[in-house]
Amino acid sequence: MSPQLTYTAIKDIPGVVDSLRNTFNSGLTKDVDFRKQQLRQLLLFMNEKRDDLMEALFSDLHKHRMESNIGEISSIIDECQYMIKNLDRFTKPITTAKRFKMNALDKTIIRKEAKGVVLVIGQLATNACLSSNTAAVITKFLPDYIDKRAFSFVNGGVEETTTVLEQRFDHIFYTGNGVVGKIVMKAAANHLTPVTLELGGKSPAVVAPDADLDVTANRLVWGKFFNNGQTCVAPDYVLVSKDQQEKLIIAIRKTLLSYYTANPQNCDSYGRIISTRQFDRLKGLLDHYDSSQIAIGGKSDREDLFIEPTILKSISYKDEHIMQQEIFGPILPIIPVDHMEQAIQIINVRDQPLAMYIFAKSPAIYNNILDKTNSGGAVVNDTLMHLQELSLPFGGVGASGMGSYHGEKSFDTFVHERSTMIKSTGFESMLAARYPPYNDDKDTMLSFLVYGLPSTASSKFKALMTVWSAAWNILFKNPANP
């Protein structure tokens, strides 16, 4: 049985943030060995509390253990292991190749320094009424593993989140919808705090005329109904040629039957809607369509938070209901098009999506679509898999978000690259070329240091003589401290 979640007292929130800032200012969390130890402890938590987490995810979402393992647990374990192995390399200062000749003998490095106190906002933490069981498990057990001086939870809803956003942070990372994303960004602007926003959106799937429809159906259905369609990168609508729409629906029907049986409500591999509020929103969308447009599914059970895998057909890209918002649920509209160029046009009249899926055999076809569109990420002949491949940076563009993470990009997101120059106190006589009072000799010397010598041999020789004469005058006729 999952522990009960308790909301954080609003009056305690400022003190929580102040305590974390004191910890950061003490230097504790800057130590690389300390950070690696915290990662080892997080790894231990994920392994030892795996069953508790899976049970909580099932309670919240009716999520099968396989989906929990693939979609939630394995990626965290992989990232912990990757960071432990590579953190020394990531934190090592980078020496730069000098371009200004006056700095040739000096040391120039880029220090990788933690930004400071970071706020991470996700549905587990800020919408406890949604994933309350999972949030409760993390809140109860994680403090037993990780140094409590270095992190803290704030659980609650709108009021608690609003109070958190009133505090000053050094970076804010938010995963969720665009409406709240704008609120987060406005709050961050009050403190000029940088943000990473992963916002989702309506991610299209384009099925080209040469696509293998059986494979397409398998991968499209898996990606759409993984976690009951409640992922930020779920295929949100399908663009397919008019003469292939019925063939695709037949293939999808076959796949749905094999995945979730004829009665998905009794299938332990099929999830549930996260809350009554979200169920009502999705049911409200479905109520706008009749049997002529519901090609597959459409049944629902509010008490069980169940909505059958539903395929809508012959939907207009201008549809005033299903095409006006991210669906975030087990409903997939199909939009028939005359040709792939029309599909591209439909994609481009909308905000940039977080993900794009293209099913095509021909590189000419899928490269044409990629070249003429934009999205946070893209996958050809599959869905969701780019999110699982942690060597690829993950993030949005435009309305689907800003910034990216995964692997080294996760490290970079929370790091300030501090440009540092360590100058020698020698060679002051030569450096005097930059000091007032200015004259022609100093101008000649600085021009050489900035622009170098001409490319032709004859001009190069003449310029060298001029530079040599200027250097002589600066050193011996017009010294910096006569």
Residue 246 is a catalytic residue: no
235 vs 96: CA distance, rounded Å: 43
DSSP of 54-101, one letter per residue? Answer: HHHHHHHH---HHHHIIIIIHHHHHHHHHHHHHHHHHHSPEEPPP-SG
Is residue 160 part of the annotated active site? The answer reads: no
Q: Are 366 and 358 in contact (CB under 8 A)?
A: yes
Phi, psi of 198, deg, nearest 5:
-115, 105
Amino acid at 223: G
Preceding peptide of 437 cis, ω within 30°: yes
- Residue listed under structure tokens 């900035």: 450
Beta carbons of 90 and 411 less than 8 angstroms apart: yes
> What stretches of 142-286 show up as alpha helix (H) in DSSP?
158-165, 178-189, 213-225, 245-260, 276-286
Question: Burial level of 19, CB count in 10 A (0-12/13-18/19+)?
Answer: middle
Residue 482, C-beta contacts closer than 8 angstroms, at least 6 positions apart: none
Rg of the Cα atoms in the chain: 29
143 burial type by CB count under 10 A (0-12 exposed, 13-18 middle, 19+ buried): middle
Q: Under a CB-based contact definition with an 8 Å cutoff, are residues 71 and 226 in contact? A: yes
Question: Of the listed 55, 67, 79, 198, which one is catalytic?
Answer: 198
Please check whether residue 273 is in contact with residue 303, taking contact to mean a CB–CB distance below 8 angstroms: no
Closest CA to 358 of 336, 348, 373: 373
The single residue listed with the structure tokens 């080892």 is: 40
Round to the nearest angstrom and report the end-to-end CA distance of the chain: 84
Q: What letter would DSSP give residue 352?
A: P
CB atoms within 10 A of CB 420: 13
Q: Which two tokens stand for residue 144?
A: 């037993």
Among candidate residues 232, 308, 341, 417, the one labeled active-site is: 232
Number of H helices, E strands in the chain: 19, 18
Phi and psi torsions of 312, nearest 5°: -100, 140
> Of the candidates 287, 284, 357, 298, which has an alpha carbon nearest to the alpha carbon of residue 331?
298
Where does 389-456 have alpha helices with state H? 408-413, 428-431, 440-451
- Answer for the pair 274, 60: CB distance below 8 angstroms, yes or no: yes
Any idea which residues carry the catalytic annotation? Answer: 198, 232
